Amino acid sequence: MARKIAVTAMAMAMAMATADVSFAFSPSARFTPSSSRSPSCVSTPSLRSGATSLNMATVKVVDKSGGQVAQLQCDRETILRDAMLAGKVDLYYTMKGKLFNCGGGGNCGTCKVDLVSGNLSPRTAAEEKLLKGCPPSFRLACQSCVMSDVTVRNKPDA
Ligand code: FES
């Protein structure tokens, strides 16, 4: 416990020194819309077979024609990318995306989805930059926290 507190204090000190990664070291930090880095929602998805808690959300993934690709259960505030990858959804559908995605850093723009319904966390600065010219419903899965039951369209550019 004391070691964990010391590690957390050291991480906070490092974060203060480098404001751009302020929440990357603190799992309990909350979403910071002005940041260009990953949102600070739950980073490890907890997928379940059925909704049993008010803290859970359903993520429906549909294709371009509206056909259901997957239906996932995860904790609210889970990063959408983490939930989709844990649910074996083919999030990175281009060769560029498969080979050169940034791993959730908000730098490549290859994890694009279209929010059909529900609530995700507000857009980050990285999304504002990478989704310039896209419809407002387009989001980067790695920058979006699941805040309610959501339906997202996978491969919106395909
Ligand atoms: S994985 Fe690169 S922007 Fe989301």
Nearest residue to 27 (alpha-carbon basis) of 47, 7, 54: 7
The pLDDT score that the predictor gives to residue 15 is 40
- 76 residue type, one letter: R
Contact status, residue 140 vs residue 125, Cβ threshold 8 Å: no
The atom number, within ligand 1, closest to the CA of 92 reads 1
pTM above the 0.75 mark?
Answer: no
The 3 state secondary structure assigned to 82-129 is: HHHHHCCCCCCCCHHHHHHCCCCCCCCCCCEEEEEECCECCCCHHHHH
Q: What pLDDT score does 21 carry?
A: 33
User: In a mutational test of the pocket of ligand 1, which residue from 35, 90, 93, 102 has the highest number of ligand atoms less than 8 Å from its CB?
Assistant: 102
C-alpha span between 121 and 123 (Å, rounded): 7
Residue with more model confidence, 52 or 110 = 110
User: Model confidence over 74-133: pLDDT tens digits?
Assistant: 999 999 999 999 999 999 978 888 899 999 999 999 999 999 999 999 999 999 999 999
For the Cβ of 91 lying below 6 angstroms from any atom of ligand 1, the answer is: no
**What is the structure's pLDDT at 69?**
94
Find which of 6-15, 43-52, 135-144 is predicted with most confidence, using mean pLDDT: 135-144
What value does the CA radius of gyration of the chain take, rounded to a whole number of Å?
Answer: 16
Give the pLDDT confidence of 16-37 residue by residue, as tens digits. Answer: 333 333 333 333 333 333 344 5
